């Protein structure tokens, strides 16, 4: 109960500075996931109330399926029973991350980025740009951002208001690293507010032809995909809750 | 006389965006890539406003803000935090240290200018007349 004055004070500062809160369903879900003694029924109720969260959970619970007709896990309850609470944590992280990425494109690039099914995009082949950022604490994991060189160049050019030909590799890498920072900073705030304290590591960006995504022992993986015209972005989130 | 503003961010992308936002105004922008550099530049340049990131290598923005507020010569300089982190603990800690304003990334250049104008006077650069 001692935290109440802090929460009220935070609300006052958030109002003063114009800081927007995370969606209610996401905040609630993160708070539930953060409690190791929470019963699954409560988590099921929160997810079932939000069609977006429900459909994403089923996608995470059916990693091999290319569409809903191939799902072997069909309900939220079953998905949590079979895959554990880590699945719900991925949802709690993926939502602020997606919102931040879409908002970044809207506000800083004036581009409408859409969330699409991973299978709707061309698969990345050969050498591509990969950025990663790790987070460690009560929850441990990584966020990976992958895109073609052309997409990386188009994004950097748009953010900086330059022509793609004017950009060097350093500018392209730095812009991709900043995109990662913005995305992960937003979901980290949500995790910390729910009691899952963690710290971000500096982003690493480079070229690779390795398409594999390492998953932490006992953790889960969620794959997200986005497009804006010819720009295609793949985001992988891996997480392992209650690392301590 | 130009308004001197210090931008402290480890991301060159953000420093370029901040520079672009202030380009229409009579502003001299000085830069630093982390808190330690930021303190040195702040002491040397005595800016009228500091725009400060939180997560940076070497010295983070919260530590730099705390050190600024301990320095009698620098503590009155208004600081706007520019960060992707808006968690409760972060905001409370930063607000209690005495930050003037807080802008969450992603941001529009207009939002930064609006918040800067609450701290300092920004005059438009004269548009060069065509010859």
Nearest to B36 by CA among B14, B12, B8, B15: B8
pLDDT at A2: 46
Nearest to B4 by CA among B63, B80, B97, B77: B77
Nearest neighbour of B87 by CB, restricted to A103, A177, A189: A189
Identify whether the C-beta of residue A24 lies closer than 8 Å to the C-beta of residue A52: no
Q: Residue B7's beta-bridge partner residues? A: B31, B51
- Of the residues B55, B86, B101, the best mutation for testing chain A's interface (the one with the most A CB atoms within 10 Å of its CB) is B86
Least confident of A42-56, A211-225, B57-71, B76-90: A211-225
Phi-psi map region of B46: left, alpha, beta (phi>0 left; psi -120 to 50 alpha):
left
Q: Which residues of B110-126 are buried (b: 16+ CB within 10 A; e: fewer)?
A: ebbeebbeebbebeeee
Q: Is the pLDDT of residue A85 over 80?
A: no
Nearest neighbour of B13 by CB, restricted to A107, A175, A188: A175
Residue A1 in any domain: the answer is no
Least confident of A221-225, B75-79, B108-112: A221-225
Domain range for residue A73? 18-241
pLDDT at A242: 59
What is the mean pLDDT of the segment spanning B24-43? 97
pLDDT at A132: 93
Which CATH number applies to B3-104? 3.40.50.2300
CB contact (8 A) between residue A159 and residue B17? yes
pLDDT at A1: 43
pLDDT at B8: 98
Q: Is B101 on the interface with A (CB under 8 A)?
A: yes
What is the mean pLDDT of the segment spanning A154-165? 88
Number of domains in chain A: 1
pLDDT above 70: percentage of residues in chain A: 95
The CATH number given to whatever domain includes residue A168 is 3.40.1550.10
What's the token pair of residue A47? 């997810």
CB contact (8 A) between residue B107 and residue A108? yes
Reported for A121-127, long-range contacts at CB under 8 A and 24+ positions apart, including other chains, are A121/A225, A121/A227, A121/A232, A121/A234, A122/A232, A124/A148, A124/A211, A124/A234, A126/A209, A127/A207, A127/A208, A127/A209
Determine the Cα–Cα distance for residues B90 and B79; give it in Å rounded to an integer: 15
The order of strands in the sheet holding B101-104 is B27-32, B3-8, B49-52, B79-83, B101-104
- Please report, for chain B, the start and end positions of each structural domain, with discontinuous segments joined by +: 3-104
Q: How far does CA A17 lie from the centroid of its chain?
A: 25
């Amino acid at each position: 109960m001692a935290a109440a004055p802090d929460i009220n004070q935070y609300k006052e500062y958030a109002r003063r500075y114009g800081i927007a809160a995370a969606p209610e369903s996401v905040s609630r879900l993160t708070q539930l996931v953060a409690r190791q003694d929470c019963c699954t029924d409560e988590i099921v109720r929160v997810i079932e109330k939000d069609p977006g969260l429900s459909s994403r959970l089923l996608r995470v619970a059916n990693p091999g399926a290319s569409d809903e007709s191939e799902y072997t896990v069909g309900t939220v309850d079953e998905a949590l029973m079979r895959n554990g609470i880590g699945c719900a944590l991925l949802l709690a992280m993926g939502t602020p991350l997606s919102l931040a990425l879409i908002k970044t494109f809207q506000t800083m690039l004036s581009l409408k980025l859409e969330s699409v099914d991973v299978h709707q995009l061309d698969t990345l082949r050969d050498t591509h740009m990969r950025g990663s950022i790790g987070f460690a604490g009560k929850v441990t994991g990584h966020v990976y951002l992958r895109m073609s060189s052309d997409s990386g160049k188009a994004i950097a050019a748009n953010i900086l208001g330059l022509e793609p030909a004017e950009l060097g590799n350093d500018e392209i890498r730095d812009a991709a690293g900043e995109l990662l920072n913005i995305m992960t900073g937003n979901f980290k705030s949500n995790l910390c507010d729910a009691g899952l304290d963690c710290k971000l590591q500096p982003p690493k960006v480079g070229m690779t032809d390795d398409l594999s995504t390492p998953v932490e022992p006992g953790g889960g993986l969620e794959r997200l995909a986005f497009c804006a015209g010819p720009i295609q972005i793949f985001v992988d989130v891996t997480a392992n809750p209650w690392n301590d | 006389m130009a308004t001197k503003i210090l931008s402290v961010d480890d991301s060159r992308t953000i420093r370029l965006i901040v520079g672009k936002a202030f380009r229409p105004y009579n502003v001299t922008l000085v830069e630093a890539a982390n808190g330690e550099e930021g303190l040195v530049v702040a002491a040397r340049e005595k800016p009228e406003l500091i725009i400060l990131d939180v997560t940076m290598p070497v010295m983070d923005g919260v530590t730099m803000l705390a050190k600024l507020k301990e320095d009698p010569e620098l503590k009155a300089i208004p600081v706007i935090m520019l960060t992707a982190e808006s968690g409760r603990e972060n905001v409370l800690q930063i607000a209690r240290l005495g930050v003037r304003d807080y802008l969450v990334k992603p941001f529009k250049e207009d939002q930064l200018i609006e918040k800067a104008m609450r701290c300092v006077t920004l005059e438009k650069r004269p548009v060069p007349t065509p010859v």
